Structure 1
C-alpha cells in the first residue's frame, strides 16, 4: 500500500514552506534581496529553489499571494454596524497584519509588482468600495464626490502612508486610522469622539 504522504513529498512541501518563510523574513528588511540570499536563509541551494519556483519573480508572486490571502480575509471578516467604525477597525487590523507580514507590504509598494498586487488584493479592494458606497449612502462618509473616487483615494492614501511610515511608527495604529477617517470626511474632533466611543477599533484580535 502506498503511503499517504511519501517522505519525498513531505520534504518538498517542507522546502517550499521554508523558502516562503525565508523570503518573507529576508524581503521584510531588504525588498531587493537576491534569490541566492533567500535560498541561503532557507538553508537551501539556488538549484533547490528552482525546483519550486521558476525565478525570483515567481517566488515574489507567491509571497504576494500569501499576504493577500490574509489581507482579504481581514477585510471580509471586519463588519460593524457603523461604516466609520468598520473602516477604522479594518485599517487597524490591516496595518497590524502588514507590520507582521512586512515582506508582502514591501513588495506591494514596489511598482514593478503592482499588477500582481492589484490582482491578488481584488477582494480587499471590492470590500473597500462596497463599504465606501454604504458609508456615502448612509451619510456617514462625505458625499461631495462619487463613492468610487472616494474609495480610490482611501486606497492610494493608505498606500502612501505605508510608504511614508515604513511600518515603524510607534503610534502607527492611531495615525493610520486618523488618515483614513480624514479622507472620508470626519473632522479631528469627530474622529476623537468616534475613537473614544469605540475602543474596539484598537482592540487586539
Structure 2
C-alpha cells in the first residue's frame, strides 16, 4: 500500500512531466515554424505547439531563450551523429559523417539556419563542440595515415570542411523542405565536396562511394 510520502512523490512528478513535455513541444514547434518563418513570433510558435502564451513564457521568457534551446536541440542531434559515426577508414568515416549531417540538417532546418546566423555564432560553436572535436580527430587520423592531403595541417583541413558545410547550407537556407530524392542528390554533392577538400580526386571519390553504398543509403 502506498505511503503518504510516495503519494506526494507521484503527485509531484505530474507537473514536472507535463512541464518537460510542454517545453519539448515548444522546441519542436519552433523547429517547424522557424524553418518556414524565420521571424515568427513567440505567439505563433505557442499556437503551433497548442499551448498558451502564458505556458510559453513560463519556459522561455524571451525569444532568444527559445532560439538557444532550438540550437541546443539541433546540436544534440548533430553531436550524436558525430559520436556514432565510425569507420576504420577515415575517408569513409568523413563521407558517412558528411552525408548523415546533411540529412539531419535537412530535417532540422531551423537549427541549420540559425547556425548560419552570425548573431548566434558563439552559441552554435559551444553547442557543436563535440562535433567539431570529432571532425578534428578525423582529419588528424587521415593526415597521419596518408589518407588525406599532406600539404595542410589537420586543423586547417577541419576548418575548411566546416566552412564548406556552412557555405553549402547557406546556399540552401532559403529553400523549403527538400523532397527525399533531392536530399539524396544533395548529400552526394556534399560528400564529394568534403572529400575533395581533404585531397581525394573525383575518380577516388567515385570508387569510394561505389565500394561503400552505405554512405548514401
Q: 1:76 to 1:5 in 2, by over 3 A?
A: farther
Q: How many angstroms apart in 2 are the aligned matches of 1:13 and 1:73?
A: 21
> Shift in Å at residue 36 of structure 1?
1.7
> Shift in Å at residue 8 of structure 1?
3.0
User: 5+ unaligned residues in a row in structure 1: which ranges?
Assistant: none
Which has the higher mean CA deviation after the structures are superposed, 51-60 or 118-127? 51-60
> Shift in Å at residue 44 of structure 1?
2.3
Which has the higher mean CA deviation after the structures are superposed, 31-40 or 163-172? 163-172
Q: Which residue of 1 aligns with 2:189?
A: 175
1:28 maps to 2:39: no
Q: 1:5 to 1:27 in 2, by over 3 A?
A: farther
Tell me the TM-score normalized by structure 2: 0.88
> Shift in Å at residue 48 of structure 1?
2.0
Deviating 4+ runs (over 6 angstroms): none
Tell me the TM-score normalized by structure 1: 0.93
Q: Which residue of 1 aligns with 2:94?
A: 87
Number of aligned residue pairs: give it.
Answer: 203
Which has the higher mean CA deviation after the structures are superposed, 66-75 or 165-174? 165-174
Q: Which residue of 1 aligns with 2:20?
A: 13
> Shift in Å at residue 18 of structure 1?
1.7
The partner residue of 2:168 within 161, 166, 176 is 161
Structure number with greater Rg is: 2
The Cα RMSD (Å) is 1.5
User: 5+ unaligned residues in a row in structure 2: which ranges?
Assistant: none
> Shift in Å at residue 5 of structure 1?
5.0
